[in-house]
Amino acid sequence: MTTVEQFVERVIASPSQYTELDRIYVQNRVLGLVGDDTPVAAADDQLTSLTDALVATAIQNGRIEDNQSAREILADQLMDLVTPLPSVLNQTFWNKYQTSPKTATDYFYQLSRANDYIKTRAIAKNVAFDTPTDFGDLEITINLSKPEKDPKAIAAARNQPQNGYPLCQLCMENEGYRGRLGYPARSNHRIIRMTLGGETWGFQYSPYAYFNEHSIFLDEVHRPMVINRQTFSNLLEIVKQFPHYFVGSNADLPIVGGSMLAHEHYQGGRHEFPMMKAPIARPVDLGVAGVTAGIVKWPMSTIRLTSTDSTALVDAAVKIHNTWKNYSDERVDVRAYTDETRHHTTTPIARKVGDQYVLDLVLRDNQTSAEFPDGIFHPHQDVQHIKKENIGLIEVMGRAILPARLKTELQEVAKYLLGQHNQMAAMHQPWADELKRQYDFTADNVMDIVNQETGKVFARVLADAGVFKWDADGEAAFNRFITAVQAV
């Protein structure tokens, strides 16, 4: 049986719309994409291996150019054949939801893995380890899953007309989009439609997941992110519909926000982050009936709200958020505005624990200064050799998403620590010298210590981003803010 015939077998057996009667039609669809000549043999009978072989066949037959963009576009076009139409998938999802929300998400998640929308092979390349700290075990990941941009594709993309469609990678118009040079292929992409606050939203999985069942909830309308009463209400509505998932929103300001502020969206999934395990350091009374509140023992300044009443929880969140937006305390460099520029917002995270709704609000401040030009409450210069990028939702909760460069850079640091020939980046020198003073390194222990110390640097990163520090001055400042909230 040829690779084409094997692939057609898988298409017919998949939950797509095709049946045995469609076999010749499907075969001709595949041949139309890869060419009629003898196909390249697959490494095994896995669907991804068959797809790889068909992409190689298309290159061999001159149907596509041998570059990253063309390969990804064709692979997703082939995987589209094993993927149900959006209407069919949505009907199946909501039918399964009647059994349980978890039954529905299990179905969608497994399909998104099986059709290679979730790039499981790429994700498996990521480096991950935990580091114990005073705030619990932090989760450290070095993100190797997103492929490096092909320089030839980047150069070619500059000469392509930009039609602005889709407007961004979070728009619903990405569903089934073929892709182009410089823009990802999405032929096998599907979105579940749902309603939040009387408006249409989408639910999809992240192709390069940072944690288990990493989900994205996106507004049907392309409009900028905002944190307000509707945000809190939407987050609680999502965990009401999917109580086995958490969901949170990146902040809506630069520096403290995520990388995509132009399109309203949230992120969620099935994972218990370190922040969720963090205890309450001290309870506080916000004066909202039915809501229990407390300051979380966490490096970033976090207030945890708990209630069985989602409306009361939203009221409490709005009270905190609106107070914080206009709150200043010069004694700890906290300033709500510079002229007309707002600096304050929150990062909210919602989940259900039994019959209780839990909403964590993390206070964010995006000021810069001459001393800290990248951000006063942002990773400071002495830790930027490990992490310079924004501290977004996932990092806030205690999972570091560190740049791919660190995989090789930390190996060079290890060589330096062992006194071996190395090409260690100069920016790591002060840190490495400090480690040399602290430890006796051997070939057996060096990487474990380097990983552990990398995690400690991430703990410092989170502390830098915290507006009220864990010292006497910070505790007093946090108490002053709570008093301001109580006064509203």
| Residue in 150, 309, 291 with CA at minimum distance from that of residue 236 | 309
CB 347 within 8 A of CB 371: no
DSSP string, 338-358: ETTEE-EEEEEEEEEETTEEE
Mean pLDDT on 29-56: 97
Question: Residue 152: is its pLDDT beyond 80?
Answer: no
Lowest mean pLDDT among 158-162, 187-191, 255-259, 427-431: 158-162
Where exactly are the structural domains of the chain?
403-465
Task: Read off the pTM.
Answer: 0.94
Q: Please report, for residues 68, 87, 173, the alpha-carbon distance to residue 160 in angstroms, rounded to integers and kept in the order given.
A: 16, 32, 20
Range 146-178 burial, b when 16+ CB lie within 10 A, else e = eeeebeebeeebeeeeeeeebeeebbbebbbbe
* pLDDT score at 164: 85
Residues 319-344 have pLDDT tens digits of: 999 999 999 999 999 999 999 999 99
Helix (H) or strand (E) holding 247, with range, is strand 246-248
Residues 244-268 have pLDDT tens digits of: 999 999 999 999 987 789 999 999 9
Placement of tokens 């009629």 in the chain = 36
Residues 108-122 have pLDDT tens digits of: 999 999 999 999 999
CB 409 within 8 A of CB 428: yes
pLDDT tier for residue 154 given thresholds of 50, 70 and 90: very low
| Residue in 364, 404, 383 with CA at minimum distance from that of residue 149 | 404
* pLDDT score at 186: 97
Distance CA 488, CA 485 (A): 6
Task: Return the structure tokens found at 352.
Answer: 């259900």
Percent of the chain predicted with pLDDT > 70: 96
